């Protein structure tokens, strides 16, 4: 089950399409969906979580809490709509493309992909690009 929650004025236009895309991505990576809760919020909301839970006093676009066990995917993904808008401008892409990238980025982390090293980040980016191409 995928739940979309909104702590800001933003609302996804295509929850059903995004849900199917996420489920298909998880299945393609040989995992099974239990539950993912997406929370769309603003910078202030996400900053508080970043400080409280991760001890990072910085703005970020996404924070994910992974409760997965083995290949059973479960977690909470918090996305700052403000950060995504700013990042889209910085990267020269549309807001919706950057939003989709962030949405699937969290899922790929749950599927075991990392992005701390240059090599891992390249693998992650390649996966993101692949799944973005499948959605569009």
End-to-end, the C-alpha distance of the chain in Å comes to 22
In tens, the pLDDT along 22-69 reads 999 999 999 999 999 999 999 999 999 988 888 788 888 898 999 999
Domain 2-135 is classified in which CATH homologous superfamily?
Metalloproteases ("zincins"), catalytic domain (3.40.390.30)
The response to whether 115 counts as a known ligand-binding position is yes
Q: Which carries the bigger pLDDT value, residue 58 or residue 102?
A: 102
CB 71 within 8 A of CB 37: no
- Compute the average pLDDT of residues 100-121: 93
Q: What is the pTM of this model?
A: 0.90
**What is the dihedral angle through the alpha carbons of 73, 79, 83, 89, rounded to the nearest 10 degrees?**
60
The pairing of strands 32-41 and 2-6 is parallel
What pLDDT was estimated at residue 99?
96
Q: What's 69's DSSP letter? A: B
The response to whether 109 counts as a known ligand-binding position is yes
Ordered by start, the domain boundaries in the chain are 2-135
């Amino acid at each position: 089950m995928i739940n979309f929650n909104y702590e800001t004025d933003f609302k996804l236009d295509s929850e059903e399409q995004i849900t199917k895309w996420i489920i298909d991505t998880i299945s393609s990576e040989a995992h099974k969906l239990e539950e993912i809760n997406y929370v769309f919020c603003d910078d202030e909301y996400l900053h508080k979580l970043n400080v409280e839970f991760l001890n990072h006093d910085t703005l970020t676009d996404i924070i994910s809490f992974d409760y997965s066990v083995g290949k059973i995917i479960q977690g909470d993904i918090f996305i700052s709509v403000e950060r995504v808008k700013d990042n889209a401008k910085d990267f020269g892409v549309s807001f919706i493309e950057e939003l989709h990238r962030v949405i699937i980025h969290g899922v790929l982390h749950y599927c075991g992909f990392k992005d701390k090293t240059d090599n891992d980040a390249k693998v992650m980016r390649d996966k993101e690009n692949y799944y973005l191409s499948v959605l569009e």
